[in-house]
Each structure stands twice: as C-alpha cells, then as structure tokens.
Chains A and B, each alone.
Chain A
C-alpha cells in the first residue's frame, strides 16, 4: 500500500486525479439520488407559487440577512412541533430558490409564521421590534416603510425563476409588476387579476397600512404572511413526530 503511495507522491497529475476521485464519492452518493428518488419530496397538489410581491418580499428578507437569525425548518421534535406547529415537509420549500432553512435561531423559527399575527403587528414590529417586545434583540428596519419597492423588473425575476423550475405562466410573468401593485392595493383595478392568477386564498391587503405607495414593507409583510401557507400538506395526517 505504501509502495503504491510512494509512486503517487512522485506524480503531480496522479495525485490530482486521485484527490478528485476520492473526494467525489461522498457527494455523489448523497446528493445525486435526491434529484431522482420519488420519496424525497412529497406530492402537494394544492401547492401554489409565490406572487410577484411575495418574491420581492423574499428578496428583501434575503437582502437584510434575516436567515442568519431565523430558521424556516421545524424539526421532527416534540418541543418544536408544540412551539411552532407541524414539522416542515420537503415539498413546502420546493419553490424556494435557494432554501432558507437557516442554521441558527437567535430569533424564533418562522416556518409557520403566516397569518399568525396581523399585518399591523408585523409593520410595527419590523419598524421597531422593541415597541412590541421590549426584550427583543432584532434590529429596527425603519427604512422598509420609507423605501419604495422596486417592482418594474419583477417580470424578469419570475422568468428567471421559471428557468430554474418554478411553474410560472406567461401571463403571470407578463403581469408581474401590475400584480405586485394590485396585491397591496385591494381597491385598485389591478387587485382582481391577482386573485385570478394566484387563487382566491391569496392575501390582497394594504400590508403596510397605507394605499398611496408600494413600499419594501408591503413586500416583506406579504412574504411573511404566506410562510407555511403555500400548501396545506403539513396539516394533513403525517407519521408521528419523534
């Protein structure tokens, strides 16, 4: 064995080839099957895609680094299921490019946050968390209410998402910017199209409480309110939690 190695030490190319070979095995065996084995991801026929406004909100969530302190993955442990709700299923993040499962909970898990609090609660909390929770360690995001949402290129975002596998229709892509506006303005003419394209269960509300402007706050609250609500699959009977 060390004789073989004696020769390997004398050949740069041999060493390189061997390193690549040895290092590739583990990843191939663990990752490749995940794309082909059916049981990896459950079926959820009621699963819906994110609306353009929710996509924009998700991007703000990423921009501000929320994933560094909040997980979106409830584990199959009793205390987590009791604290946060049914444990997360693979299908629930199947339209998440990339996933935001997270690795740290400086704040609580957010996988089932949607519709748990009112829009006004979220707006106040994001504007200054300590107005609602005096002990909170979360930064205040006052600029979310000030900054106008950049919505004119959302069609391109949806098209890019379709390119990586999210089933957006041509109509959804063509109307993306309009739908983002409509979802945060229920009284506008654009609001009807949102329900038509994304389903009647879609939240169409004044997320930040004012109708005059489309802000980053509108988008982020719209995203937070849909967390855990893209499909009902997790609330269907599942095997017992450990």
Chain B
C-alpha cells in the first residue's frame, strides 16, 4: 500500500496524518472532561499509527512507473474487505438487538449493551459501514473502467476510504458511549459530521478529476447515479446536521431546527438517505455489474435516463410521507404522498430495465449464483419500491406507521436489494481484483445465496405479520365503542414474530460470514501464471454510452 505511493505522495501522506494526529490531540485536551476526549484519543491513535506506518515505508523504492498504465485498484481491494467486515459487525449487532426485543434482560446492567445504544450501531453499521464501503469500493472500480482513465492520484482514494472508515468508527463507538444527536441515521455528533464533509469533498473531487481525464466522450450511466449519490448526500448531510455545539470541549450539540421544521428536515434527509445513499449509489452498481455479468447490454438506455431524472427530482419531495397525520401542515403531507406514488414510475423503470436486460440470459441466472444475487436484487427493488409507494398513501400509512411493518419494508430493501446487489457485485469482481482465476468456492456462493434469500423471506414475513397485527390491534374497538386491546396486549402478540425475526437475521448473518470466508480463501489461493495476471486489462464498458 505504501510502496504504491511516490516519495512526494508519502510526504503528503505523513503531513495529512500528522495534522490528523494534532487534531486528535486538541480534541483529547479540549474534551478531557467529556466523552469527546475519548474520541480525541481514537483520532490521535489513527493519525499517529498511520504516520508511523508511512514513515517506516518512506525509504522504500519508488513504484514502477508502468503502474500508470493500469487502473489503481488497491483502494478497491481494501474497500471490499472492509465492506465484508462491516457487514459482519452491522448484521451481527442487528441479530443481537433483534434478540434483545425478544429477551430484554440480556442488557446485563451494562449501559453500552442496552437496546437504545446498540440499535444505531446496527443501522449505521449496515447503512454506512457495509453500504458506504461497498459504494466507495465499487465506485472507484466502475469509474475507472467506464472512463478508461486511472484515478487522478494515489493519496486521495486512500484518504476517502480510510477517512470514511474513521468516521464510521467514531460514529459507532460514540453510540456505545451514548453520544448521539438522536436524528435517525444522522446520529453522529457535530465533529464527526464536519469530518465527513471533508472526506466527502475529496470524494467528489476524485470523481470530477477522473471524469476530466476520461477517454470516453460520454459519461456512462452508472456514473450519473454515483454522482447524484455523492452530491445529494452532501446537501442532505450538511443541511440536516446544522447544529450549535455546547462548547468546543463538548461532544453535545443542539440542532439549529426545532419541532415541526426539524421533523420535516429530518425526514427530508431520512427519506433521501434511502433515495441517494441506498438507491442511487446501488443503482449505479447495478447498471454496471448486472449487464457485465449477464454479458448483455442494458435493455434500454433511454429508460435509464428517464429513471435517473425521475428519481433525482421526485424523491426529494417524498420525505413528508413519514409525517402523515402529525402536526406537519396538511399540504406538505399531501405533496409527499402524491410524489411518493408517482415515484413508482422511475423506480420500476430501473427494476424493469434490469430484468429485461436479463432476457436471453435467464439460463445464466439459473446456473450462476452471482448473477442470481443481482437478478433477485432487482426483483426486491421492484417489490420494495411498490410497497414504499403504497405505504405512503395516507390511509395505509395510518395503519402501518409506528409499527413493525415499516421495519419489514426497510429490511426488504436493505437485505433484498442493497445487500444482494452488493454481494453480487462483490463476488463478480473479487477474483479479478485479487488476480485470481476464480472465486475459491462456487458452492459456498450458492450456500450464501440460499441463506440470504431464506433469511430475507423469514425476516420480512415476520415483520409484515407483526406490523399489520400491531396496527390492527391498536385500532380495534369493542361493540360498546371502547378500545379492545391495551398497548401491552399488542406487545405480547409480537413475541413469536420477534423470535422469527431474530432467526431470519441470523441466517442472513451466517451468509455474510460465508462470504467473508470465501473471499479470504480466494485471496489465499495461489496466483495464476504471470501471463494470466493480465486478466484485468482496460476493457470496454458493457455497453457503449450514448448509443
């Protein structure tokens, strides 16, 4: 990793890491009476550790100049492994919190083991740790192939990948200590938010600089999705996290917004984190890897254009459907509902486009578990977006909101769409990225596929059932006009479903562990003969842009 860097780049790396260490030291001193100080020590350790590592490799010989003729994939390789590690962490904690809902006494009187603190570790671990690393790793891979240009330099990709993971570590360790601003999926405190903005600006710069060097006149469709993901997530993140810290020595901050305005801003962020983090980015992945694996061009280029702009425009209106029947003005709720329903059109355009691409390649879907992951992801994407539009209708929402149905819906998307397209993409590039002829065991990919599918189905059906029952119990009346059930009655009725949910989650987690094992064993396989090592020469994108 350090041997890849030129002498000048090594000096720059030391400078950046030294500065990071100093920031950590300042945080540790300024926050010595606060939990902020602990994060200061973590940042200091990261900066110093990196500094020492680079310094030790400083005098290694300069890298081979011929490397500039190849793509720069080292960050992608590390990113793929980090993706799987975060998958195990995020899904592992997910299984644990699911079990806590069935057996609540497993907190053992330890604050950081209680549900409220572990739950954001699960959600952020999966969304940002697993999903975010997958997006960064694959975006670097796709960006170079579709532009036929190498990344602009060798430091900034590492800065983005490792800096982003530092953010994830600060976020997760903060939740365990009780550091959270309570905005769902935007829980990290002010200093972590500022750090993420810096990392994100560099990420965007890599995209623009590589595009500027591109040898393809057209920007391939996958890159629009990745770019919308980077840009809009930046806008959402900055606006929703505006806050005033108690002091520079305190981790605590108070949101600039309050009450109804804060609720609208939060769900404008929250719903579009779904749109631009969990959808646009992963659609970028799908538009490159699915046609590539299927060996067929995308069914309709125009459909992907329509879908892209439809999603970019309409999603931003839809957040207010999280606030039906609340104190949010009625007209905003109605706008949110209307746009959520229309949103089905661009969403299904993408899902349909993916499935129609597979026409003529269904025999491959049958035989290849990797392609099956991607095909199933497209199907789940279609199901989940339909369900989302349906749940945004006020009358449906009055039943589904606040219940486990929402949890089921989210997991149909997270497990069925996000995780499956990620696993499919990951398996399809791991052999070439690590210069191996094939994946270690195709049979284990098959095992993983069935674990993932059965885990998802069990999970989602359990939550659909419990959610609908819960919603109905809350609104059931006796003949004399009183409420039939107490709240606790509905909670008791959930118990068997909560056990089923934990079981489904466990299956999915086992699948992720199988994937991790398979990838490690692939890396440990002997490399093929040198002339085969040129497997990954610059290739044409799966289809020509601007057909």
| A residues lining the B interface (CB < 8 Å) | 2, 5-6, 9-10, 12, 15-16, 19-20, 22-27, 29-31, 34-35, 37, 39-41, 59, 62-69, 71, 73, 75-80, 82-83, 87-108, 129-130, 133, 135-143, 153, 156-157, 160-161, 163-166, 242
Contacts and interface: CB of A to CB of B under 8 A. Distances in A.
Contacts of A106: 101, 491
10 interchain residue pairs of minimum CB distance:
A65-B116, A26-B316, A26-B317, A63-B178, A75-B325, A98-B255, A93-B259, A90-B327, A12-B211, A105-B402
B178 A64 contact: yes
B488 A135 contact: yes
Interface in B151-203: 175, 178-184
A77 B325 CA distance: 7
B327 to A, nearest CB: 4
Interface string B317-331: 111101111111100
B235 A20 contact: yes
A100 B182 contact: yes
Nearest to A138: B104
A135 B492 contact: yes
A153 B246 contact: yes
Contacts of A77: 325, 398, 475
B105 A140 contact: yes
Given A26-B317, A65-B120, A83-B487, A96 B258 contact: yes
B109 A143 contact: yes
Nearest to B245: A160
A161 B219 CA distance: 47
Interface stretch (B262-270, B421-429, B511-519): B262-270
Nearest to B398: A77
Contacts of B119: 65, 68
A39 B329 contact: yes
Interface of B: 100-102, 104-105, 107, 109, 111, 114-117, 119-120, 175, 178-184, 208, 211-212, 217-219, 224, 227-228, 231-232, 235, 239, 243-247, 250, 252-266, 268, 302, 305, 309, 312-320, 322-329, 332, 335-336, 339, 398, 401-403, 406-407, 474-475, 477, 483, 487-488, 491-492, 545-546
B115 A65 contact: yes
Given A98-B258, A103-B184, A105-B402, A15 B224 contact: yes
A23 B316 contact: yes
Contacts of A136: 104, 488, 491
> B180, B254, B406: which has the most chain A beta carbons within 10 Å?
B254
B485 to A, nearest CB: 10
Given A26-B317, A136-B488, A157-B252, 5 more contacts: A24-B235, A30-B320, A93-B260, A103-B402, A160-B254
Contacts of B254: 97-98, 157, 160-161, 163-164
A160 B244 contact: yes
Contacts of B217: 10
Contact of A16 (B231, B266, B401, B477): B231
22 contacts: A19-B312, A26-B339, A30-B332, A37-B329, A66-B116, A71-B402, A77-B398, A83-B483, A83-B487, A92-B259, A93-B327, A98-B183, A98-B254, A98-B257, A104-B406, A130-B105, A137-B102, A137-B104, A156-B246, A157-B254, A160-B254, A166-B258
Given A75-B325, A97-B255, A19 B232 contact: yes
Contacts of B232: 19-20, 23
A92 to B, nearest CB: 8
A105 B474 CA distance: 11
> A25, A79, A135: which has the most chain B beta carbons within 10 Å?
A79
B178 A164 contact: no
A52 to B, nearest CB: 13
Given A67-B182, A108-B487, A139-B115, A76 B325 contact: yes
Contact of B114 (A30, A76, A107, A141): A141
B519 to A, nearest CB: 33
Contacts of B546: 6, 9-10
Contacts of B319: 30
A83 B474 CA distance: 9
A70 B264 CA distance: 19
A99 B262 contact: yes
Contact of A82 (B116, B262, B325, B483): B483
B228 A19 contact: yes
Nearest to B397: A75
> A24, A27, A76, A242: which has the most chain B beta carbons within 10 Å?
A27
B264 A31 contact: yes
B472 to A, nearest CB: 10
Contacts of A143: 109, 111
B329 A95 contact: no
A24 B312 CA distance: 9
A161 B243 CA distance: 10
B258 A165 contact: yes
A89 B327 contact: yes
Contact of A137 (B101, B178, B181, B317): B101
B208 A16 contact: yes
B252 to A, nearest CB: 7
B537 to A, nearest CB: 25
Given A94-B258, A153-B250, A19 B402 contact: no
B491 A135 contact: yes
A34 B227 contact: no
Given A26-B317, A164-B244, A164-B256, A64 B219 contact: no
B11 to A, nearest CB: 30
Nearest to B221: A9
B250 A156 contact: yes
B109 A140 contact: yes
Contacts of A102: 402
Nearest to B253: A160
A161 B487 CA distance: 35
B101 A63 contact: no
Contacts of B257: 97-98
A101 B326 contact: yes
Given A71-B402, A98-B183, A31 B305 contact: no
Contact of A40 (B260, B315, B322, B323): B260
A30 B184 contact: no
Contacts of A79: 474-475, 477, 483
B197 to A, nearest CB: 16
> A9, A10, A76, A140: which has the most chain B beta carbons within 10 Å?
A9
Nearest to A59: B252
B165 to A, nearest CB: 23
